Amino acid sequence: MTEKKIKHPAFVIWNQLKKNKIAVIGLIIVSLYVFCAIFAPYISPYDPTKQNLAESFQSPNVRHLLGCDDFGRDILSRIIWGARISLLIQLSSVVLALIIGILLGALGGYYGGKIDEVIMRFMDILLAFPGMLLALAIVAMLGPSLRNLIIAIGVYSVPQFARITRGAVLAVRANEYIVGAKAIGESDAAIILRYVLPNALSPIIVQTTLRMATVLLTASGLGFLGLGVQPPNPEWGTMLSSARMYLRAAPHVAIFPGLAIMITVLGFNFLGDGLQDALNPRLKE
What confidence tens digit (pLDDT) does each residue in 212-251 have? 999 999 999 888 888 888 888 899 999 999 898 888 889 9
- Give 162's pLDDT tier (boundaries 50, 70, 90): very high
What local confidence, expressed as pLDDT, does residue 2 receive? 47
62 located within any domain: no
Domain extent, residue 84, equals: 10-39+72-283
Give the bridge partners for 74, in sequence order.
68
Looking at per-residue pLDDT, the higher value among 264 and 141 belongs to 264
Lowest mean pLDDT among 3-17, 47-61, 81-95, 102-116: 3-17
* Residue 146: CATH number of its domain: 1.10.3720.10
115 located within any domain: yes
Buried b or exposed e, range 119-155, using 16+ CB within 10 angstroms: bbeebeebbeeebbebbbebbeeeebebebbbbbbbb
What local confidence, expressed as pLDDT, does residue 3 receive? 47
Residue 41 has pLDDT above 70, yes or no: yes
Helix (H) or strand (E) holding 114: helix 113-127
Alpha-carbon dihedral sign for residues 147, 153, 156, 161: negative
| 174 C-beta neighbours (distance < 10 Å), count | 8
* C-alpha to C-alpha distance for 124 and 238, rounded to whole angstroms: 31
- Name the phi and psi angles at 247, rounded to 5: -60, -35
What local confidence, expressed as pLDDT, does residue 282 receive? 54
122 located within any domain: yes
- Domains identified in the chain, total number: 1
* C-alpha to C-alpha distance for 234 and 242, rounded to whole angstroms: 11
Residue 59 has pLDDT above 80, yes or no: yes
Query: Between helices 9-18 and 21-38, what is the axis angle to 10°?
Result: 110
Q: pTM value?
A: 0.87
Cβ-based burial of 247 (10 A; exposed 0-12, middle 13-18, buried ≥19): exposed
77 touches 47 (CB < 8 A): yes
47 located within any domain: no
Give the bridge partners for 68, in sequence order.
74
The amino acid at residue 87 is: L
135 located within any domain: yes
Mean pLDDT value across the chain:
86
- High-pLDDT (> 90) share of the chain, %: 44
Q: How is the chain split among helix, strand and coil, in percent rounded to 5?
A: 75, 0, 25
